[in-house]
Structure formats: structure tokens, C-alpha cells
Structure 1
Amino acid sequence: MNLTEEEILKQCAKMCKNTLMETLDISFCEVGKDYLVAKMPVTPRVHQPDGVLHGGAMVALAESVGSAASFMFLDAKEFYIRGIEISANHVRSVKEGYVFAKAEIVHPGRTTQLWDIKIRGEENQLISVVKLTTIALPKTK
């Protein structure tokens, strides 16, 4: 896919309409040759009852950015992208601000892709480490 960074980010934003990403206010903010970054505000909407960012919201952010990265780096006209395995280690809590998830490709396979996703706070502190495996399923005509 030979799109500019701006075109890729616009496509990502378009994909978020009427989805969980829109509900969580996830937005894509940076793209490179082998990575994609998304951010999410940490507000009471994504808190667990004791006032810190819910681990499930972090996993949703991670799967969103990893799946979008697979979608952007493969021919989206030819494939559906699905997450097939995810694991997360949450190492720090956060109460407010933004968190940033950077999905970096580990294995860019034709069928399965492996992504390393680090979620960091505004001061670049590590919040969560996530591993995501996606699969590219051919679209039938």
C-alpha cells in the first residue's frame, strides 16, 4: 500500500466510526514503515471502580492498534483482519491524561502477523506490554 502517512491516518479514523474505538475515543496519531500509534484518553469512562485505567480498556486499545496496523500494511481489499490471540502484562496504573499504544511488527507473515504493543503514559512511562497475533483471511468474491 503506497499511501502517505496522512492518508493512512485518515483511513484509520474512518474505520473508527460507530465502533468500539469511537466509544473509547481512540485515535490514530502516528504511522511508520513498520508501526502504528494510537492514543486514548484516560477518563472515568475507562476507569475501573477504584479510579484507575481498566485493564480491559488497555487490551481494547492494543487490539485496535495492532489490528489496524495489520489492516493498513496488508491489502485491505483482499483480506479481513482478525485478532486470534492477545496477552497483556499491566505494569503500572494511570488515572488521567492519555495513553499511547505503539504496535510494532515482529513477524509480518502472509497469513499470521505478530505484533509487540507497548502502552505508555504521557511521560513515556511503561503502562502495559501486549502481544497480539492477527490473521489475514482472504475475502471471497
Structure 2
Amino acid sequence: MKKKKISVFNIEISVNNIKYVKNGTLFAKAKILHKGKTIHFIRIHIFNKKDESISFCKMTNIIIRK
């Protein structure tokens, strides 16, 4: 089976910070909202141990097949 060679580039990222964190542990959950042949749209939720929202991110990647 021949592997396909691809390159992934970020074309846009947007972050909204909701809370200020000086120290501690942060966690992130990412979900692909759209997975097309050339564009992927991803939502990322960043939160702390108390499950409080810290940041909300959205990211768009372009997939280039070689």
C-alpha cells in the first residue's frame, strides 16, 4: 500500500481569552467541525481543572497533497 504524502498548513487561527491564568494546569479539547479534502475547520476549548473556560479557539487548516 502506497502512502499519500500531504502537507498541512494553518491559514487562520482566532483565539478569544476569557480568563487570565497565572499558573496551574490547562486542558484542551479539539473537535473537527468540517473535514473536507482541502480544508479542515477545528474548534478548540481550553479549560482548567475546575472545568472553567479559559480560551476558545477556531482554526482553519489547508491540506495540500503532493
TM-score between the two structures when normalised by the length of structure 2: 0.87
User: Which is greater in Rg?
Assistant: 2
* Alpha-carbon separation, structure 2, partners of 1:77 and 1:102: 28
The CA deviation at 1:77 is 4.4
* Alpha-carbon separation, structure 1, partners of 2:28 and 2:5: 26
Q: Equivalences for 1:66-81 in 2 at 5 Å?
A: 77-81=4-8
- Provide the residue aligned with 1:117 in structure 2: 44
Identify the structure with bigger relative contact order (alpha carbons < 8 Å, sequence gap 6+).
Answer: 2
Identity among equivalent positions (%) equals 39
- Provide the residue aligned with 2:22 in structure 1: 95
- Provide the residue aligned with 1:127 in structure 2: 54
The CA deviation at 1:103 is 1.2
For the Cα contact (< 8 Å) 2:8–2:62, is it kept in 1?
yes
Q: How many residues align?
A: 64
Q: Equivalences for 1:1-141 in 2 at 5 Å?
A: 77-139=4-66
1 or 2, which has the higher strand percentage? 2
* Alpha-carbon separation, structure 2, partners of 1:102 and 1:80: 23
Partner SS for 1:129: strand
Aligned-pair Cα RMSD in Å: 1.4
* Alpha-carbon separation, structure 1, partners of 2:8 and 2:20: 30
Query: 1:89 is aligned with what amino acid?
Result: N
- Which runs of structure 1 show a deviation greater than 6 angstroms over 4 or more consecutive aligned residues? none
Q: What runs of 5+ residues in structure 2 fail to find an aligned partner?
A: none
1 or 2, which has the higher helix percentage? 1
For the Cα contact (< 8 Å) 2:4–2:65, is it kept in 1?
no
Query: 1:97 is aligned with what amino acid?
Result: G
Query: 1:106 is aligned with what amino acid?
Result: L
